[in-house]
Chains A and B, each alone.
Chain A
Amino acid sequence: MNLNFNKYLLAIFLTASFSAKAIPTPEAVEPQFDADDNPTYIIKYGKGDRLKEDGTPLNLIQIECQGKAVDFVTDEELDQCRGDDSLVEMKYGWMDFSTYKGWRAYHAECHVCHGPDAMGSTYAPSLMVSIQEGLSYDDFFTVIMNGRGEAEGAQKGNVMPAFGANTNVAPHVEDMYRYVKARADGKIRRGVRLPKLPKFKEVE
């Protein structure tokens, strides 16, 4: 496979010190917001063999086609990427710490109903799909805080509990949204972990 990395090289994270053996030390970034002030993510893809401190490779592989993780593209797009050699296999990527926290909080709190990787279960909707279909951050926030019962249109017996008072959930809603949005946008392939950037520390 002919791998085309060039357009994914990100100088901001992959400084000149990067080599096959070195462990890169990328910079922390602050939590991101988009132009409408909604929380958003930074996901960047790179290449090379990032090593753990004990020297073993992290072995995280992302496969991209047309700027999206490969499981989000259609068969036609995939064929096209194969044809023009733009199917890219990358050895690792980064997500910002806030998005990572969202990933973690999602899988601890939401996963038990909404399924792994924001993909839904037999009875709870896929939040990834909900965001693709237009669920706004405000609605996402409101439903998590207040819950959703039959009065709000939930099917009988399918309730969403209110998490406004849950200290493991409420402080992380922005981050959860960052993660689910990144999934909805096709930036994080399921099942594969992206390493996180270091935690951003507020300057006092």
Chain B
Amino acid sequence: MPILPDTEFLVAHYMPYTELPAEEADRESLWVDIPNSLYDPKKGHDLYGRYFHEAVLAEKLGFDGICINEHHATASSMMPVPSLIAATIFAQTSKLKVCVMGTPPNMDSPNRLAETYAMLDVMSGGRLEIAIPLGTPMEYWVNPVAPATARKRHREAIDIILKAWTSREATSHDGEFYHYKYLNVWPRPYQDPHPPIFIVGSGSLETVDLAVEYGFGYASTFSPIAKQLQALDYFRKKTTEAGRAVQPNMFPLTVMTYVAETDEQALAEFEEHAKYYFDFLLRPGEFANLPGYIALDELRKRGGHVLPKSHGKFDWDDLQDFYRVAVGSAETVTNKIEKWSEEVGSSRIIFEVHTGDMPHWKLAKNMTLLAEKVVPELKRRRDAAQTPAQAAE
């Protein structure tokens, strides 16, 4: 079956710092305790320039939006404050949506985060989308939030943000963790009542429940397909039970993508960067083992480890077989996307177009082939499959 009507195509860019000295390859962790003496601000400045240029290119090539995220004290990201990244992209574009996916609301003052996002939404004329994460275990080592309280604070912070955005007069909040005598965002969001919201999850059903309870979308992180589908089934079942319909844009399909002339060439051009990303950049060391972060039954399911032991290890066969990775010719990638978008029933497709230390020319080639070959072919197949009656509607 072809892609759905009104399918939106977004790119995701995680803006890593890619200039680490090669001799750091043996470090146990590139997260939390990485010395910032390894960060060269001049190289960082150049990278920001390049990455913003790439965001602008995404708009020029006709993508609907760009997804950015937040991580702290890690070489894998230069976006500890993604709202600043969003503001900069908005200023350089006119149509592109930015999905900030996003700031863990318990790591900011919830009211201040509601204000930040509202400002971005007004400044951009309603181009903001947000996805709310709990944050990886690693973030809690560098933020002053006791991890055992993380989930409760997360929930209360979401309540505060929603209350601030939906109330049209000054209100207040008195909860377990936060107290606001007056809660009053000014500016209020451009979109009424607020920008589209997703909950970010890695498949744990507790997080799916949260999305369903609030009626938000559910955005899977990079997690095995089987786990994503399990989360989707559960999301559908629970949303239906709640008396609502699952909209096709509520469960985005996120695919790590690289397109080249042939399958062989794509893999040859892509592999070293995936290896760099998984083997090197994502290495969390012992910081994944954070007390209080996950429920004990979930920990037991994971064999007593907070993050899968594969985190920070590259295995190409494993990636190909179990994850949404589409690396190949335009036809190979088109076929995979078509199959997966049907499998998920999603009208929101996110291409992770930049992996590891991919140079600009590869990213530009990748995005260009996606925009000029893959997306048009997906649309052509959809239009061709339409019956004349449908087409006339």
Q: Do A and B bind each other?
A: no
A residues with a Cβ closer than 8 A to B are none
B residues with a Cβ closer than 8 A to A are none
